[in-house]
Amino acid sequence: MLTVKSIHTYYGNIHALKGVSLHVGNGELVTLIGANGAGKSTLVNTICGLIQPRKGVIEFQGKPIQSLPPESIVPKGIALVPEGRQIFATLTVEANLQMGGYIHRHKREQIQEDLHRMLERFPILNERRQQLAGTLSGGEQQMLAISRALMSRPQLLVLDEPSMGLAPLITKEIFKIIQELREEGRTILLIEQNARAALNIADRGYVLETGKVVLQGEGTMLLQHQEVQRAYLGKGAKQIVDA
């Protein structure tokens, strides 16, 4: 569905992505893990069209999209749940959802229908429907950000660190939602620092370090991998020696 081929992205002189390649197949849940500053968000923003890569190709359903702006990429079927949620704080919860369906604005019934489905799925959002989104708690905002992205009926859902800044219990809840989405047959690219939780639910994973993919493989395989355990799962060097 999505194929990224040796992408190079720069911020001025800073070489943030140094030839990253990955692919996400139909119905797959793929995760990308990496430390702070590894370039995860840069990759996501490049895929979604917020930043243009200097070199490389991004294909979505066989067509190159690397030079398109986001407003052309969203209608092709990619939706982003951005890092830090980025909900419209000064708009109501309902208006946030309606904006999520902006590309379908001429199909009123579909928007209404999807809106009801989202509010049914997240009853807390239904209760807060007319409240300004900025007044929601962090977890509620994340649910709003996810449902807003779903309103565009994407074929590929990209989530950038959905567990960032959330309490462990809420994080669990968010991962449960992601797993449910996946069971509904959605294709998902999940960016995470919470490597264990992400690899546990993912089919495949990639490890990004300073702008390069250093490891890739099946979720469970990566979970067992020594390097991953040492760097991302907080297991000490001693255990590696033991093993």
Partner 1 sequence: MLATDLLQYTVSGLTLGVIFALVAIGFNIIYNVTEIINFAQGEFVVVGGLLAVFFVGLGFPIPMAFGASVLVTAALGFGMERFVIRRARNASILSLIIITIAMSMIFKGSAMSLWGKDPYVLPPFSEGGPIMVAGAAIQPQALWVLAVSALVVIALSIFFHRSVYGKAMLACADNANAARMVGIPVRQMVLLSFVLSASVGAAAGVIITPISLMQYDRGAMLGLKGFAAAALGGLGNFYGALAAGAILGLAESFTAGYISSGYKDAVSLVLLLFALFFKPEGLFGSSEAAKLKKF
Ligand X SMILES: Nc1ncnc2c1ncn2[C@@H]1O[C@H](COP(=O)(O)OP(=O)(O)OP(=O)(O)O)[C@@H](O)[C@H]1O
Contact letters for ligand X, residues 81-120 (x by CB under 6 A): --x-------------------------------------
- Among the residues of the chain, which ranges form H helices? 40-48, 70-73, 93-100, 108-121, 123-127, 138-150, 168-183, 195-201, 219-224, 226-232, 237-242
- Candidates 23-31, 40-48, 92-100, 120-128 — which segment interacts with ligand X by CB under 6 A? 40-48
Binding-site member from 29, 30, 38, 178 for ligand X (CB under 6 A):
38
- Report the alpha-carbon angle 232-150-41, nearest 5: 35
Binding-site member from 35, 95, 164, 214 for partner 1 (CB under 8 A):
95
Place of tokens 């909900």: 87
Would you list the DSSP string of 15-34? Answer: EEEEEEEEEE-TT-EEEEE-
Tokens standing for 144?
């709003």
Pick between residue 10 and residue 88 the one whose CB is nearest to ligand X: 10
Amino acid at 162: P
Residue 238: Cβ within 10 Å count: 8
Pick between residue 38 and residue 151 the one whose CB is nearest to ligand X: 38
Q: Is 188 helix (H, G, I), strand (E, B) or coil?
A: strand
| Residue 135 lies near partner 1 (rule: CB under 8 A) | no
Q: For 153, which DSSP code?
A: -
Indicate which of partner 1, ligand X, Mg ion, none lies near residue 102 (CB less than 5 to 8 Å, by partner kind).
partner 1
Cα–Cα distance list, 232 to 43, 84, 170, 208, 239 (Å): 19, 21, 21, 11, 14
| Residue 99 lies near partner 1 (rule: CB under 8 A) | yes
| Residue 41 lies near Mg ion (rule: CB under 5 A) | yes
Q: Which residues pair with 80 in a beta bridge?
A: 158
| Residue 198 lies near ligand X (rule: CB under 6 A) | no
Q: Is 189 helix (H, G, I), strand (E, B) or coil?
A: strand
Indicate which of ligand X, partner 1, Mg ion, none lies near residue 142 (CB less than 5 to 8 Å, by partner kind).
none
Binding-site member from 8, 15, 59, 88 for partner 1 (CB under 8 A):
88
Residues interacting with partner 1, by CB under 8 A? 48, 50, 69-71, 74-75, 79-80, 82, 86-91, 95, 98-100, 102-103, 105, 148-149, 151-152
The contact set with ligand X (CB under 6 A) reads 11, 14, 16, 34, 36-42, 83, 193
